[in-house]
Amino acid sequence: MATLTDPGLLNDIAEIGRIQAVPRILETVAHITGSRFTAIARVTETTWTACATRDTLGFGLVPGGQLQIETTICDEIRQSSTSVVFAHASQHPLYATHHTPRIYGLESYASVPIHRPDGSFFGTLCAIDSAPANFDVEHIQRSMELLAELVGNYLDKEDRLLAAETALSDAHRVADLRDQFIAVLGHDLRSPLQAISMAADTLELDANSERQRQMLGHIASGVTRMDGLINDVLDFARGRLGGGIPISLQATSTLEAELQRVVEEVAIATGRQDIKAQMQIEGDVVCDPIRLAQLLANLLTNAAEHGERSAPITLNVCAGPEGFVLDVHNAGHIPSSRMDAIFSPFSREKGERPRPGLGLGIYIASEIARSHGGTLDVASSEGTGTLFTFQMPSAVALPAQA
């Protein structure tokens, strides 16, 4: 027998081989028909290929064995999708002169089509013997059709299982790419940036002119800006690809001072000296203070860059037994067409004038809120301006995974 090399047929044989119930199905067919050879065959327009066999007749076919399609009745079954069952070929009005019983010396024969649940034809479930059989044709046909339907359902299950395994493998590859991407951001980009910063600091010690000091100041400013962009993209990668921005929860007694420092830094960086802050924090707050400072910085920077200067930016923070609330208000207005995408990454309107950053600030703030078990909401209208509100429970648990 020639070695089978067709990848499609090899896959079909393997698919049948993975169905653990197939040996019992063939054994059951042999028992109810009395046949000494039973098989599941893959039948196409050009090939008949055994995928699984049970042979006590000495017929000689094993999985991968093939018959000429023209010599089989299965070719007719493929075309008509009709079962063929007879118990005594030489006494049958049609099959007494048929070429298949004559070629293979068959007397009893039963073959039913196997369809996948979507209706596509796979092959046949067969039983043959060189001796006449003593069975009720209608009963055997119905029983074998039920078993063939079972095989078809198993094939569908195998297809879905294979698709799930492929999807899982793809997910693992995506996870590997995610880890590599985060590693590039966290190390391969930041390391040379740190080297530039250190070199600029060293050169500043030997600066002999005001121009040199100005140029080194530009380098230091650019390094700081680039480091911020890398941090934003790194947080985006973690939030979008890694299941959320990681936080380190702790009972913090200095949160008010941390947030006030952010207010002062944003005021200097944006030139907005009209940021009005009011804070009332009772006792310790269980949070990640560095991440909450980042959330506030993003909200204040957004308010400074997008809000109108006709009214001051206001910040209200309240923390007590009933919960933690932080809201930032400015006189700007977000069009209703943009509200649905305001918390999406890179959510800048087409044609918007160039601004610093990547458009990730509000997205990262919302991810920080989510990591704290809280929410970040926005309300905006032309009359009242824009209000971002962050809320979280007053007692955030300290899970081990944090």
Tokens of residue 11, six digits = 């896959």
**Quick one: pLDDT at residue 137?**
92
Q: Which of 113, 116, 112, 114 is nearest to 141 (CA)?
A: 112
DSSP string, 147-197: HHHHHHHHHHHHHHHHHHHHHHHHHHHHHHHHHHHHHIIIIIIHHHHHHHH
Pairing relationship of beta strands 313-320 and 275-281 according to DSSP bridges: parallel
What is the per-residue pLDDT for 399?
A: 45
Nearest CA among 45, 43, 243 for reference residue 126:
43
Kindly give the confidence (pLDDT) of every residue in the chain, 402 residues in length, as a single tens digit, with 9 standing for 90 and above.
Answer: 567 889 999 999 998 998 889 999 999 999 999 999 999 999 999 999 999 999 999 999 999 999 999 999 999 999 999 999 999 999 999 999 999 999 999 999 999 999 998 899 999 999 999 999 999 999 999 999 999 999 998 888 876 777 777 777 777 777 666 666 666 666 566 667 777 878 877 777 777 788 887 888 778 777 776 776 677 677 766 665 556 678 888 899 899 999 999 999 888 888 889 999 999 988 889 999 989 998 999 999 999 988 888 899 999 999 988 889 999 999 988 888 888 788 877 555 554 554 555 567 888 899 899 889 999 999 999 888 999 999 998 654 444 444
Q: Give the span between the Cα atoms of 294 and 113, in whole angstroms.
A: 66
What sign results for the dihedral spanned by CA atoms 208, 214, 219, 225? positive
Q: CB neighbours of 67 closer than 8 A, spacing ≥ 6?
A: 48, 61
Nearest to 147 by CA among 36, 21, 258: 21
- The Cα 138–Cα 123 span in angstroms is 21
Cβ–Cβ < 8 Å for 152, 115: yes
Number of other residues whose CB lies within 10 A of the CB of residue 223: 19
Find, among 288, 269, 268, 267, the residue nearest to 228 by Cα.
269
HSE (side-chain half, CA atoms, 13 Å) at 317: 19
Q: Check residue 16 and give its pLDDT.
A: 93
